[in-house]
Amino acid sequence: MMLGRQKNIAEPLVSEPSAFLFEMAIKKLKRHKSPVNDQIPAELIKARGRKIHSEIHTLINSIWNMLELPEEWK
């Protein structure tokens, strides 16, 4: 029996959101609701198209991979 040291590597519990899941979440946004903290209405996000969706997705994934929310988001 070998009693050497083993490295334990923590795997993330949940992988970063895929582009598909992100698009599905945008489709589920309800229109004509008051924006909450960010003051960005759902209609604006839905109307801006794939370019803005891709940029928001990239931003969210980069924050996801940092494993810490920006202070403004807490």
Tens-digit pLDDT profile for residues 11-68: 557 788 898 988 888 888 887 777 776 777 888 888 878 888 899 899 888 888 887 7
Which pLDDT value is given to residue 52? 84
Does the pTM surpass 0.75? The reply is no
Rounded Cα–Cα distance for residues 52 and 55 (Å)? 5
Residue 27 phi, psi (nearest 5) = -60, -30
The helix, strand and coil proportions of the chain, stated in percent and rounded to the nearest 5, come to 50, 0, 50
Question: What integer best gives the mean pLDDT of the chain?
Answer: 78
